[in-house]
Amino acid sequence: MTTGFPKNFMWGGAVAANQCEGAYLEGGKGINATDVLVGIIAEGTHPSIKWNEETKRYEPCYNPDKVYLSHDAVDFYHRYKEDLELMAGMGFNAFRTSISWARIFPNGDEVEPNEEGLKFYDDLFSEMRRLGMEPVITLSHYETPLHLLTEYGGWANEKMIDFWLRYVETVFTRYKDLVKCWLTFNEINNLFRIPFAAGAMLDINPSDVNEPISGLTIKQKYQGAHYVFVANAKTVELCHKIIPDAQIGCMLSLSHIVSYPYSCNPEDVFGAMQFQRNHYLWSDVMCRGEYPAYIHRIWEENNCKPIIKEGDLEVIKNNPCQFIAFSYYMSAVFKDGVGMAAGTGGAKGAKNPYLTMYSPEPWTWPVDPKGLRYLCNVLTDRYRLPLFIVENGIGLDDQANENGEYIDTFRMEYIKMHLSEIKEAIHDGCDIMGYLYWGPFDIVSAGTGEMKKRYGFVHIDRNNDGTGTLKRTKKKSYEYYKKVIASNGEDL
Ligand code: P53
């Protein structure tokens, strides 16, 4: 029985290329899906694209009244050495970021990769290693080249599998000595909810050109999901072939699994289970290697069974993920007849009377540390696989006091409460690989596209209107997290 954090526990933080790098047109990079969004939830169904009657294609068309903060973000592209030094100062032994696919294949369908993009990540990953951090690399964090959506319809099209595998083979081969821990698709269980970004899908023959996403049918979405499952399995296979000593996992947004029945009314209990299954589906397929029993009725009743080619199920069966990486921010409740959404942009639906809503309006969400222990336990019961918490954190509107200090007390409390429950989960028998705090330096919010909603231990001077010096300043939580890591989680 293990009590306390294991010796080889991975301590660190996580970001995504599109939320921190900026330099969105530098180094030969192409436009990707998130470049034409202000925020994923805020603008999810209205990307900044316009239909061109002549070419019969969508093209980027930025709204002059909006600020696309991700285009410059916090300039990690040029300042990563300074930022990684700061992270090393807290004792990080792991750091998660993503490769922006459009830096490697700007349009996604080229045969030859962009050397400048490859070189950037060579330098970045080498710097992480030099500082003693294990690179944990997400292959796709909402960064699909836009051209693959506008030209092919993205994952609604089977051709995506080959474009994806060319990209994956390129980066596995290039970074095989530097990167030994890979994540496939970030929060892929958001594909249905956020089809443009998380699903990288677009209707290329729209009936209404002003609604490029809402035209997607449920059938197209399940077909896209199937292509993603095949691609995921083939990625796992390639990883084992090219980097035999690497580990590869799936990545899911699992606040959703912690959707408690609102009451003991069987309608609430059964409804909560059905809701959770929308999210379990992804790990059931990617980790157990087969479609679960409950999917067949869903396919039949919604007439949305995907075309499954000969050999697909075998590939999926033979190449399960080795661990489950996930994000966890909050919990939710399922009440029969009440719509719900657990989201970092602000929780909707029935409220849990036992939990307090934290973080400022409009992003309030119910903080639920014990929900994380619950989640680790249900995942362990269901899969018996190692778990990797690769996102957890709190977005606050941090303001400097009169001395220019950021005293982010609630962030420290939030971390302490969650780490205490992780410790309990380890004691319960869960195999937990590590804890990566989300946004260890301030970055652009994925959900709402703001800078104002900050997660960092390091403040970065950039504002919602795009102004700011980009100066980096440690907050109080910086010293706290440093102490936690130095004590291997004993001193919370
Ligand atoms: P922010 C919702 C929408 C988009 C991304 O979220 C999300 C979620 C939560 O399920 O998930 C992750 O920035 C995501 C990160 C993101 C983080 O949540 O909206 O993987 O990219 O930044 C926090 O506050």
Atom of ligand 1 nearest to the CA of 447: 19
Evaluate: CB of 327 within 6 angstroms of ligand 1.
yes
Element (H, E) at 401: none
Q: What is the pLDDT of residue 342?
A: 62
- Pull the structure tokens for residue 210: 């002003």
Nearest CA to ligand 1 atom 21: 446
Q: Which residues pair with 458 in a beta bridge?
A: 441, 474
Question: Ligand 1 centre and the CA of 314: distance in Å?
Answer: 33
Pairing mode, strands 323-327 and 458-460: unpaired
**Is the CB of residue 70 below 6 angstroms from any atom belonging to ligand 1?**
no
Ligand 1 atom 17: the closest Cα is on which residue? 446
Q: What is the distance in A from the centroid of ligand 1 to the CA of 447?
A: 6
- pLDDT in the model for residue 5: 98
What one-character DSSP code corresponds to residue 250?
E
Q: Is 187 in the pocket of ligand 1 (CB under 6 A)?
A: yes
Whether the Cβ atoms of residue 253 and residue 190 lie closer than 8 Å to each other: yes
**Residue 273 CA neighbour count, 13 Å, CB half:** 7
β-pair partners for 14: 96, 438
Q: Which of 43, 127, 134, 391 is catalytic?
A: 391
Ligand 1 close to Cβ of residue 320 (< 6 A): no
- In 131-174, which ranges are continuous DSSP H helix? 146-152, 159-174
Q: Give the atom of ligand 1 at the shortest distance from the alpha carbon of 345.
A: 19
Instruction: Provide the terminal-to-terminal Cα distance of the chain, rounded to the nearest Å.
Output: 21
Catalytic site includes residue 53: no
Ligand 1 geometric centre to CA of 343 (Å):
8
Tens-level pLDDT at each residue, the chain (492 residues): 778 999 999 999 999 999 999 999 999 999 999 999 998 876 556 899 999 999 999 999 999 999 999 999 999 999 999 999 999 999 999 999 999 999 999 999 999 999 999 999 999 999 999 999 999 999 999 999 999 999 999 999 999 999 999 999 999 999 999 999 999 999 999 999 889 999 899 998 888 888 888 788 999 999 999 999 999 999 999 999 999 999 999 999 999 889 999 999 999 999 999 999 999 999 999 999 999 999 999 999 999 999 999 999 999 999 999 999 999 999 999 998 887 766 777 667 889 999 988 877 778 889 999 999 999 999 999 999 999 999 999 999 999 999 999 999 999 999 999 999 999 999 999 999 999 999 999 999 999 999 999 999 999 999 999 999 999 999 999 999 999 999 999 999
For the chain, give every domain's residue range: 10-486
Are the beta carbons of 410 and 345 closer than 8 angstroms?
no
CATH topology of domain 10-486: TIM Barrel (3.20.20)
Catalytic: which of 127, 187, 421, 450? 187
Q: How far is the CA of 194 from the centre of ligand 1 (A)?
A: 11
Ligand 1 atom closest to Cα of residue 255: 10
The pLDDT of residue 362 is: 79
> Which residues, 6 or more positions from 337, have their beta carbon under 8 angstroms from its beta carbon?
none
Give the position, in ligand 1's atom list, of the atom nearest the Cα of 455. 24
CB 445 near ligand 1, within 6 Å: yes
Annotated active-site residue 187? The verdict is yes
> What pLDDT, on a 0 to 100 scale, did the predictor assign at position 206?
87
CB atoms near residue 428 (< 10 Å):
13
**Ligand 1 atom at minimal distance to the Cα of residue 395:** 24
CB atoms within 10 A of CB 163: 23
Going from the Cα of 446 to the center of ligand 1, the distance in angstroms, rounded, reads: 5
CA of 227 to the centre of ligand 1 (A): 23
Ligand 1 lined by 345 (C-beta under 6 Å):
yes
| Ligand 1 near 433 CB (within 6 A) | no
Which ligand 1 atom sits closest to the C-alpha of 448?
A: 19
| C-alpha triplet 298, 299, 301: angle, nearest 5° | 65
Query: Is the C-beta atom of 438 inside 6 A of ligand 1?
Result: yes
Q: Is 303 helix (H, G, I), strand (E, B) or coil?
A: coil
Q: Is the CB of 143 under 6 A from ligand 1?
A: no
Length of the chain equals 492
At 231, list the tokens: 């691609």
**Cα-to-centroid distance, 365 and ligand 1 (Å):** 13
E strand map for 158-233: 181-185
Q: For 335, what's the count of Cα atoms within 13 Å in the CB-facing half-sphere?
A: 13
Is ipTM beyond 0.90? yes
- How many A from CA of 445 to the centre of ligand 1? 7
Our mutation pick for probing the ligand 1 site, out of 41, 98, 438, counting the most ligand atoms within 8 A of Cβ, is 438
For residues 196-220, one letter each, b for 16 or more C-beta atoms within 10 angstroms of the residue's C-beta and e for the rest, the string is bbbbbbbbbebeeeeebbeebeebb
